[in-house]
Chain A
Amino acid sequence: MEVATDDAAMRPARLPRTIALVGQPNVGKSVVMNALTGTKAFVSNYPGTTVEITEGTLVYAGRRIKVIDTPGTYSLHSDTEDQRVTQRVLLEGGVDLIINVVDATNLARNLYLTLQLLDLGIPLIAALNQVDRAKSAGLEIDVKKLEDILGVPVVPLVATKGEGLGELVSSIGRGRMGKPIRFSDQVEEVIAHLEREIEKVIPEVKGRRRSHASRVLAIHLMEHDRVDEDLFEVYPELRTLVESLQRQVGAGAVCSRCYRSCAFCPARDKEHPSFPTCLERTAQARAIAFQVTSGGITRTVPGGIRGRTIEDWLDIPTVGVVVTGLTACFSYKLVAFVMDLFDRLVIMATSPLLQWITSLAARFPEGSFAGLLLTSLPEGLILPFSVVFPAMFTIYMLMGFLEDTGLLPRMAVTLHRLTSFLGVPGQAVVPLILGFGCRAPAVLATRSLPDRRSRFIVLTLLSMAVPCAASLAIITSVSQVFNANLLVVYGVAGAVFTATGLTMGRLLRGEGEGEGEFVLEVPPLRWPSLSNVWRKSRMRMSEFFLHVLPLLAGVSVVLRYLVSGGYLSFLSALGPVTSRLFGVRGEVFAAVAMTIVQRYLAPMVLLNLPLTSREATIAVSMVSLSMPCTPVSVLLVKEMGLRTALFILMLALGVSLGVGLVLNVVLP
């Protein structure tokens, strides 16, 4: 990048090409993002991960500037999947301005990240958000003083009201490297030693430019105890260095109290902290916050009933449980209502067209490809529009609303005790509740879970034992017609859910994650920004149209072909076997098997068969516990990889068959 003097700072030549928005969770980053890039933003997965990042374009002074909204992160040494993405965006280079969104109401904690960002040597602007909330809490922040201490421009904002956003945009040419902090002499000695080691393995010259100062790398190494694959991808040479340092510790040549850096720690006594840079940075961030802030926190501790805020009320466990229950109930009713509405509307709107298509298809000879295409394509397209689309959209709106108000984390806290039996944190409730509406968005909602293990458990439960609205419709309609025993059907589903959850929670325990270390920030409640909720839902929906819809249409054609070509009729030949094993006729088993490829076809087949009540009970139980529909299976592969997805699907199939076997023995 060009070096410019201060008076040239406003020249467009110094404008950045790529801006990264970086900030801690719940600081209002997405509102800033919205203001910078407007509607031109889109959501995508960060390569190789399932973490959503938003990218957009800011047009300023005739230039198009890429803006990346990174996942909220508390620090640059966090371990969770989405927080690591932020580190990777910054490590990989290419970012030439960081806009660090800082929450004025939690200055000390937010400055911790700011101080880490300053180490990176990337020009930075601090956007001091929520100054209005800070003010109403009696906190006055001296912006000028903060600018002097950090050495970067600080722009005060009230992002939700749009105040200060203009100033922020016009300051993007003024980003500065700032003044990184100095640690205590002892720590600086360790850093200097590591720097020398790093410079030995990665020489500055040799045709390859080192984009990070050795100081950043040294500090980074000190703060990561696990082998940092992200860093090694960028700097493969560091792997050897780290491994040799670890050997020295392992050989007992140096103290093992702290991590690799302590090999050179001058204070080799028993009491020295294991991550000195982090502790010192915390202290410095606090000192800075203290220096620039006047006025204290006057908020009183909740004591009596009077003076309690809504937040205080919601924090009371019993109130939390009631509110969570009501919210879940309302959400489910709303999704069911919207789905029902769409079902009617879409069928009403498309029935003339469908009749026309059917008459057209009739002109082609039976079994011809054109006829097949004409009948199957609308099937593949109507179902997504009448069932999946409204369910996903309503759920996305609800989710956005709950996220935006801050109710979602409160619900997670309230239910954490319950979900911890399954070995998953409270956040898991969200995808599980969503699953009763439609499992496709529920699968995507598992991304908010902190680790892969919890996601695996929740996804298995979702795919297998949580009946979505469409499945529930099948269950009720078939049960009504044939007088199946609903108590058995639901009882079996509940038992499978509980058994699976408890077993998996127990078997997969012991990764150090889970209930033992549950930490969740509970942000303040606020009014949701409708435009924000709408924007988020819309961006997430576009993924559905681009990836899921074409696939569903394709699968629909293939299925039609299989069914009309009689390729599945061999299943009916299994009649003697199935009636002995599961107590159902071959045709019924064919319907059950059909759910492997497309669940929605099951009722069509089942309703056309003369079933006994017993047969219906078994068949419906098997259908409701079988594998999820095609879109969900596809999403599973996308989210967890082929192997894990196949495992989940096979387990579901196994459980379905097992339930058939058991019911055949148990039922009179």
Chain B
Amino acid sequence: MWAKAELSLTDLKPGDTAEVISIRKGRRAQMRLLELGITPGTRITVVAAHPLRGPVVVRVGMLEAALGWGLASSVRVRRLSQAGDL
């Protein structure tokens, strides 16, 4: 059931894997994510979520990147697997 729901990247927990559906932010933000290889359809894994609306660290392929909370919240995702599933 949760596999269908559209979430924000900030709703995910460390260890969760998800597929990016869309990025609801301006061109500049989309470009910066695109440069890191994050576009709709990309699979990302949450590595860490810093407290108090701190940055979210994600893994894309073998790359790790930190996204500020504001940006991370604009990334809409579909959860594929939850921490501990594997």
Q: How far is the CA of A416 from the CA of B53 in the complex (A)?
A: 10
Q: For chain A residues 404-419, which have a beta carbon within 8 Å of chain B?
A: 409, 412-414, 416-417
Known: A137-B62, A517-B70, A518-B66. A413 touches B50 (CB 8 A): yes
**A106 is an interface residue with CB less than 8 A from chain B:** yes
Since A416-B68, A519-B33 are in contact, a sample of 16 more A-B pairs with Cβ atoms closer than 8 Å, ordered by chain A residue number, is: A108-B61, A109-B35, A109-B37, A109-B61, A275-B31, A282-B34, A301-B83, A301-B86, A303-B15, A416-B55, A512-B26, A515-B69, A517-B28, A517-B29, A519-B67, A522-B57
Known: A109-B37, A519-B33, A519-B36. A416 touches B65 (CB 8 A): no
Q: How far is the CA of A137 from the CA of B61 in the complex (A)?
A: 11
Contact B15 A282 (CB under 8 A): no
Interface size for chain A: under 10, 10 to 19, 20 to 34, or 35 or more residues? 35 or more
Contact A278 B34 (CB under 8 A): yes
Of chain B, the residue at the smallest CB distance from A286 is B37
Known: A105-B62, A274-B27. A303 touches B84 (CB 8 A): yes
Of chain A, the residue at the smallest CB distance from B54 is A417
**A297 is an interface residue with CB less than 8 A from chain B:** yes
What sequence of 0s and 1s flags, for each residue 72-98 of chain A, a beta carbon within 8 Å of any chain B beta carbon? 001101110000000000000000000
**A317 is an interface residue with CB less than 8 A from chain B:** yes
Q: How far is the CA of A106 from the CA of B61 in the complex (A)?
A: 7
Q: Which residues from chain B contact A225 at a C-beta distance below 8 Å?
A: 27
What sequence of 0s and 1s flags, for each residue 15-45 of chain B, a beta carbon within 8 Å of any chain A beta carbon? 1010000000111111111111101000001
B positions within 8 Å CB-CB of A: 14-15, 17, 25-37, 39, 45, 47-55, 57, 60-71, 83-84, 86
**A646 is an interface residue with CB less than 8 A from chain B:** no
Instruction: Provide a sorted-by-A list of 7 A–B residue pairs whose CB atoms are within 8 angstroms.
Output: A106-B63, A108-B37, A275-B31, A279-B39, A303-B83, A315-B64, A515-B69
Q: Tell me the smallest distance from the CB of B11 to a CB of chain A, in Å.
A: 17
**A520 is an interface residue with CB less than 8 A from chain B:** yes
Q: Which residues from chain B contact A297 at a C-beta distance below 8 Å?
A: 61-62
Known: A282-B37, A517-B71, A518-B67. A299 touches B62 (CB 8 A): yes
Q: Tell me the smallest distance from the CB of A308 to a CB of chain B, in Å.
A: 11
Contact B86 A303 (CB under 8 A): yes
Contact A316 B48 (CB under 8 A): yes
Of chain B, the residue at the smallest CB distance from A79 is B28
Q: How far is the CA of A635 from the CA of B26 in the complex (A)?
A: 35
Q: For chain A residues 509-525, which have a beta carbon within 8 Å of chain B?
A: 512, 515-524
Q: Tell me the smallest distance from the CB of B63 to a CB of chain A, in Å.
A: 5
Contact B50 A300 (CB under 8 A): no
Q: Which residues from chain A contact B84 at a C-beta distance below 8 Å?
A: 303
Q: Tell me the smallest distance from the CB of B15 to a CB of chain A, in Å.
A: 5
Residue of B26, B51, B64, B67 touching A317 (CB-CB under 8 A) = B51
Q: Which residues from chain B contact A512 at a C-beta distance below 8 Å?
A: 26, 28
Contact A77 B39 (CB under 8 A): no
Q: For chain A residues 262-283, which have a beta carbon within 8 Å of chain B?
A: 274-275, 278-279, 282
Q: Which residues from chain A contact B52 at a C-beta distance below 8 Å?
A: 417
Contact A301 B17 (CB under 8 A): yes
**A420 is an interface residue with CB less than 8 A from chain B:** yes
Q: How far is the CA of A278 from the CA of B54 in the complex (A)?
A: 29
Known: A79-B28, A297-B61. A74 touches B35 (CB 8 A): yes
Contact A317 B54 (CB under 8 A): yes
Q: Tell me the smallest distance from the CB of B28 to a CB of chain A, in Å.
A: 6
Contact A109 B64 (CB under 8 A): no
Contact B62 A519 (CB under 8 A): no
Q: How far is the CA of A312 from the CA of B15 in the complex (A)?
A: 11
Of chain B, the residue at the smallest CB distance from A299 is B62
Q: How far is the CA of A274 from the CA of B25 in the complex (A)?
A: 12
Q: How far is the CA of A194 from the CA of B45 in the complex (A)?
A: 40
Of chain A, the residue at the smallest CB distance from B70 is A516
